[in-house]
Structure formats: C-alpha cells, structure tokens
Amino acid sequence: MATIAPSPPAALIDGFGRRISYLRLSVTDRCDLRCRYCMGEAMTFLPRSAVLTLEEMAAIADAFVARGVRRIRLTGGEPLVRRGIGELAARIGRHLATGALDELTLTTNATRLAEHAPALAAAGVRRINVSLDSLDPERFRAITRTGDLGQVLAGIAAARAVGMAVKINMVALKGVNEDEVGAMLRWCVAEGHDLTFIETMPLGVVDEDRTDRYLPLDGVRRDLIERFGLVADAHRTGGPARYLRVPGTATRVGFITPLTENFCDGCNRVRLTASGRLYMCLGHDDRVDLRAAWREGGRDALDAAIDEALALKPRAHGFRIEERDAAPAVARHMSATGG
C-alpha cells in the first residue's frame, strides 16, 4: 500500500493576509543597563526557572524556520548577558548555511559586544543594531543610569573589525537628547553606520512620565532633511522603518514612528519572550504559551500553538501617548517582549 507523505506545515499567514517571515527572539528579560524610558531602576526579572533553556529556544526557532520564517533577531533584555548566547547563535545560524534562513541579527546595547563579536560573526551574524542614545559620556550614563560609553564604543569597533554592519538605534527624547540628533547623524556618517530614530512607546511602567519625554519624529525628520539634504531611499528591511539617505554617503537614516504614523499594514513579525510566550503584536496582550506546548506535546503541539497564535494577530497596535499620566498602553516592558 502506498504511504502518503505528511504535508509540510503551512506557511504562516495571519487573518489579514500578512505573511509572517520574521521572528524576534528575546533570549533574556535581564539587562545590565536601566535605560530610563525602558525600565524602572528596581526591576523584577523572571526567575531562571521560568526562562526557556537554550535548547528550547533553538527548537522553537527550528519550528518557525520550517514554517517559512526567513529572518530571526536575537534580542532581550540584553541578549549578550545570557550565558551561552554564542552557542545559541551558532545553532540557529546553521539554517543560514542550508539556505532556510536569510538572516540572523541581534539588537544589543553593546556593553559586552567586544567579547562576543567574533563568536557572533562566526555564527553568521552580519548586521547588528546597537542602541545608543547619546555620544556624551555623562548624558549616556544619565539615560542608562549605569552605562559606560567607552565600553559601548569598543563593542561597536569590535563588531566592525569582524566585518559586521552596524545600525545605531537612537530613542529621541524631548529635553534629553533632541539637541544631539544632528551630531549623532554626523558621527554615523563618519563611522559608516546606518541610523534609526525611534519614538518612545508606552510600554511598561517606568519611574517617570513618558509624555514629558515624547518627541514626535515628524519634526526631527523635517529638520534633518533641511540640514543634511536627506533624500529618499528605497531600502526596506521588512521592518517598520522608512529610510532616507545622506547624499554622497552610504548612511541611511530611518524613523520608527509608531505614534505619528501607523505602519501595521505591512507587519511581518511575531515576538517570543524569554519565557516562551509568543506575542503577535508589541501593542497587545494576546499571547500563546509555546513553552507549555513544546513541553507537553513536542513539535506537533508547538505547530498547533503557533497556528492558534496566528489567529490572534490583530490588525494594528493601539498606542497613544497624548494622555498625561495615563497607564501605559501595555503593561509589559519592551525588555520583556523583546524590542
């Protein structure tokens, strides 16, 4: 009797026809910094028993790659504080060699990048995002509460030395670093980095009111277009940023503007927390527990849980920041969901 081969699991298409091809994997919710817009000073992190093992993360990544995910970004918390991160990157990086995955990337604060850059490069990481909100050591320390700018710059230099392209992410904060956006752009041009500006999003309670620091990026963009003669650039990474270019240079400038422009129609991503919860949207609380599915029923249960999650993906986030003293749109911090 002829046997019927099992059909491969279906691609990930959500209820609005969007194809999910990008997974953000938060490898830890912990961090060695305490950026003021991201975290409170005293944070309660997940107990270690609640965090996925590296083997579980790799197995879940395998399942997503089998379902058509082409890009994976390791994030956190700070991904480089997770022990074994190099091994996890190498394990996921095997999919690059087979052609099943197009890209493995990382978002980091770069405090430990000098130490990890060679292993990440060996795993196939070619591009990284580094969060850097100021080039002034004292201001950098004030924003991050504990950070040492020198360490971060050494980390960036180490990444470049092993051939990685660097994109700087700068959260633009009213009255904090808004006077530095031009200087940051000039520095990125001189160093050959791309630069993306980000609006603060109302995620999780921090120690201050974000409305005081919220800087709409439409004004920043107009100002930079005028000062630098920025021109449109067709480059898209599949992410929400829209790019401009500094003429005569390789530096692209992006703007992530969840509050001034909604970009949800083209959303192609989902996010896995370090505890194994899959969130369909940064701005919504719906999630599915992939850790439980994997532990209870292995790959079949995992695929079923991913399908269940897909049905929950909303059309759009619901962020608003105008209401002073309003509770954050979402109680989870960016560091918990994976920025």
The item of ligand SAM, ligand SF4, none sharing an interface with residue 201, based on CB under 5 to 8 Å by kind, is: ligand SAM
Nearest CA-CA partner of 112 in 167, 151, 159, 166:
151
The item of ligand SF4, ligand SAM, none sharing an interface with residue 34, based on CB under 5 to 8 Å by kind, is: ligand SF4
Nearest CA-CA partner of 306 in 69, 32, 111, 145:
69
Bridge-based pairing of strands 103-108 and 231-232 is unpaired
| Closest CB to ligand SF4 among residues 38, 309 | 38
> Of 14, 62, 78, 180, which one interacts with ligand SAM (CB under 6 A)?
78
**With CB under 6 A as the contact rule, which of the stretches 70-78, 184-192, 199-207, 237-245 interacts with ligand SF4?**
70-78
Q: Which residue is nearest to ligand SAM (CB)?
A: 339
- Asked whether position 27 contacts ligand SAM by CB under 6 A, the answer is no
∠ CA 75-96-251, rounded to 5°:
60
Answer yes or no: are the C-beta atoms of 305 and 320 closer than 8 Å: no
Q: How far apart are the first and last CA of the chain?
A: 51
The first and second tokens of residue 250, run together, are 């390789």
| Closest CB to ligand SF4 among residues 77, 283 | 77
- Asked whether position 29 contacts ligand SAM by CB under 6 A, the answer is no
Number of H helices, E strands in the chain: 9, 12
Q: How far apart are CA 207 and CA 145, in angstroms?
A: 12
> Of 28, 75, 177, 275, which one interacts with ligand SAM (CB under 6 A)?
75
Fill in the DSSP letter of residue 214: B
| Closest CB to ligand SAM among residues 12, 61 | 61
Burial label for 139, CB within 10 Å (0-12, 13-18, 19+), is middle
Q: Coil, strand, or helix at residue 8?
A: coil
Minimum CB–partner distance for residue 100 and ligand SAM (Å): 25
- Asked whether position 177 contacts ligand SF4 by CB under 6 A, the answer is no
The item of ligand SAM, ligand SF4, none sharing an interface with residue 184, based on CB under 5 to 8 Å by kind, is: none
Fill in the DSSP letter of residue 12: -
| Closest CB to ligand SAM among residues 58, 217 | 217
Nearest CA-CA partner of 135 in 105, 113, 168, 166:
168
Give how many residues touch ligand SF4 by CB under 6 A: 12
| Closest CB to ligand SF4 among residues 35, 135 | 35
- Asked whether position 109 contacts ligand SF4 by CB under 6 A, the answer is yes
Cα 252 to the chain's mean position, in Å?
Answer: 18
Applying CB under 6 A, which residues contact ligand SF4?
31, 33-35, 38-39, 76-78, 109, 131, 335
Applying CB under 6 A, which residues contact ligand SAM?
31, 37-38, 75-76, 78, 107-109, 131, 169, 171, 198, 200-201, 203, 334-335, 339
